[in-house]
Amino acid sequence: MSKAEQTQQVRAGQGFIAALDQSGGSTPKALRLYGIEEDAYASDEEMFDLVHDMRTRIAQAPAFTGDKVLGAILFEMTMDREMGGKPSAQYLWQERGVVPFLKVDKGLADEADGVQLMKPIPDLENLLGRANDAGIFGTKMRSVINAAAPAGIAAVVDQQFEIGNIILDHGLVPIIEPEVTISISDKAEAETILRDEIAKHLDTLPEGREVMLKLTLPETANHYKPLVDHPRVLRVVALSGGYSREEANDRLSSNTGMIASFSRALTEGLSAQQSDAAFNDTIAASIDSIHRASVSG
């Protein structure tokens, strides 16, 4: 795998990042939306088999290629499995031209100071070594902001960059994801605090170190443009955060330089009961619409 080629695709490619990284906590909902109820599986192993089948079906769809899907974020168990007879990360890059990323966080801690920090990641060093061996390009880790609380938001960003620097030390590119909950009344204020905290940390990164940012679509268009333009930022991607695909695409279209990294909005309308033709047509239409929004800003 060519890291230089992958870096150029992520930096300048005209497309978006697919988020295929539902974890144990979010997998039942993802499967339910896909038409598979909880009584269809009797164990976590069966549940993860079903969601891997869903992810593989998406990755093998004719429209799921690097022409419009620049990269894909994988769950650890997906990295450890195969697609199309190859390890998942190798399949994505070699067969589909899609740059592989890995979700590395272990979920969220209880809320404090208006935010949820990440739980400790005790096996991070080992996981990053395995990711490198598997051909992973970068990582993703998520925190949540539930209020415009300066101390809490500062703690979220501090933790993200602390772990991000460990990831950079291992030669991987971290996607820093401090999600702002879309339903909070002070969302715009929280976004201003967040933007300024991120900028402080970016200014301390030495030359040659770059991170990616995954941010909730903001209330004010181009609110994050200073981060998009920052020399230490490889790319800024947007999470859909509960917005419908239509609204997420509409908001994204107004933000210059941001591209999508949608999960639920990407898989909206897909069903396990669809024929391959119907499934492929649905995911192709979804990819087309998210791609248009990603390149129109």
Residue positions annotated with a catalytic role: 177, 214
CA distance 172 to 174: 6
Long-range (24+ apart) CB contacts under 8 A made by 238-246 are 238/214, 238/262, 239/19, 239/177, 239/179, 239/214, 239/215, 239/263, 240/264, 240/265, 241/179, 241/180, 241/181, 241/182, 241/216, 241/217, 242/182, 242/183, 243/182, 243/217, 244/268, 245/286, 245/289, 245/290
Contacts of 116 (CB under 8 A, 6+ apart): 108, 109, 110, 143, 144, 146
HEC letters along 47-66? HHHHHHHHHHHHHCCCCCCC
